[in-house]
Amino acid sequence: MNELPDHNEMLLSAQRNLSFLLKTFYLHFSQDWELTKTPAIDETDEQRIKRLLFEKEIFLQTGLVILFNSAEIYLKSIIAEKSVFLLLKDLKDSYKKHSFFDCLTIEAADLNNVASSISGVTFPQRFNDTYVALRKERNKVIHLGKSNSKAVIKDFLSAFLTLQEEINKVSLLKLSEGLFSHDGLEIEGILASAQDYSNNIIDIYKTFFPLDEILKEIYKLDSKPKMWIQCSSCHSTSSTLAVISKAKAVCLACGYKKGVM
């Protein structure tokens, strides 16, 4: 058998997909976020945000497909690390002299359970829930041409936050370093620019998405965040730390967590 996929390249591909999606997300929303800082004309602020989100429906639905593909590739990379042939639906195909990509592979529906069983990795329940939900929305896009979910806005950000944490395993601050040119910048300049970008992205989350509700759901919290403050862990210059209670908090910029799994 030839053209065997490499598990390291597969993982890198899944991570790059999410980095690309973040960059595209920022390009789509940054100008409209700046617009929301000015008084609305002939509409309320709420109406304007709804209109701007409606104009981005295609991007959000396409994003759900990219998110599912990233999760699928990530799970396959975990299986392939043990043996790429375990991805085959029929192991007998491994003895045939043809391309791996001519063969049928295991069904996407069971991929998270198979990956967990083979690798011994226990995925967070929020990742499993996200994978199942994304697969359903991906199937809708394939068969209907679009997702008909009324919660597409919430689904998109919820899935992105979950997959960023599970697949990229780096903070938004680190991911934000890929959003701008480093030419002529010293390390201090790179870090400062990354903080500015991550601050802006979190503000975009707060402006266009039900962020408090999303955090409550994905982290299985008893209540929504009570307030947002600056994070002393990453010395954020904006309110990036969601305070749920005295014992629970999470920073969306640096990934700091207290009492949150």
**Chain centroid offset of residue 11 CA:** 14
Can you give the pLDDT at residue 199? 96
Can you give the pLDDT at residue 100? 85
Q: What's the mean pLDDT in 121-126?
A: 93
- Residues 224, 203 contacting (CB under 8 angstroms): no
At 33-83, the pLDDT tens digits run 888 889 888 899 999 999 999 889 889 989 999 999 999 999 999 999 999
Can you give the pLDDT at residue 259? 94
Buried/exposed code over 45-65 (b: 16+ C-beta within 10 A; e: otherwise) = eeebbeebbeebeebbbbbbb
Q: What's the mean pLDDT in 160-181?
A: 96
Can you give the pLDDT at residue 19? 96
Nearest-CA neighbor of 167 among 65, 69, 250? 69
Q: What's the mean pLDDT in 147-175?
A: 91
Q: What's the mean pLDDT in 242-255?
A: 96
Average pLDDT, the chain: 92
Check whether 159 has a pLDDT greater than 70: yes
Q: Is 169 exposed, middle or buried (0-12, 13-18, 19+ CB in 10 A)?
A: exposed
The DSSP-derived string for the chain is -B-PPPHHHHHHHHHHHHHHHHHHHHHHHHHHHHHTTSPPSSS-HHHHHHHHHHTTHHHHHHHHHHHHHHHHHHHHHHHHHH-GGGGBSSGGGGGSSSBGGGS-B--GGGHHHHHHHHH-----HHHHHHHHHHHHHHHHHHHHSS---TTHHHHHHHHHHHHIIIII-S-HHHHGGGGS--TT--HHHHHHHHHHHHHHHHHHHHHHS-HHHHHHHHTT-SS--SEEE--TTTT-SS--EEE-SSS-EEETTT--EES--
**261 confidence band (pLDDT: 50, 70, 90):** confident
Q: Which two three-digit tokens encode residue 240?
A: 């990036």
Q: Which residues are paired to 249 by β-bridges? A: 243, 258
**196 confidence band (pLDDT: 50, 70, 90):** very high
Can you give the pLDDT at residue 1? 66
**91 confidence band (pLDDT: 50, 70, 90):** confident
Q: What's the mean pLDDT in 89-106?
A: 79
Can you give the pLDDT at residue 149? 67
* Dihedral sign for Cα atoms in the order 41, 43, 46, 52: negative
Percentage of residues in the chain having pLDDT higher than 90: 71
pTM, rounded to two decimals: 0.92
C-beta pairs of 251-255 under 8 Å, 24+ apart in sequence: 252/161, 252/172, 252/198, 252/202, 252/205, 253/171, 253/172, 253/173, 253/195, 253/198, 253/199, 253/202, 254/171, 254/172, 254/173, 255/165, 255/170, 255/171, 255/172
- Residues 243, 228 contacting (CB under 8 angstroms): yes
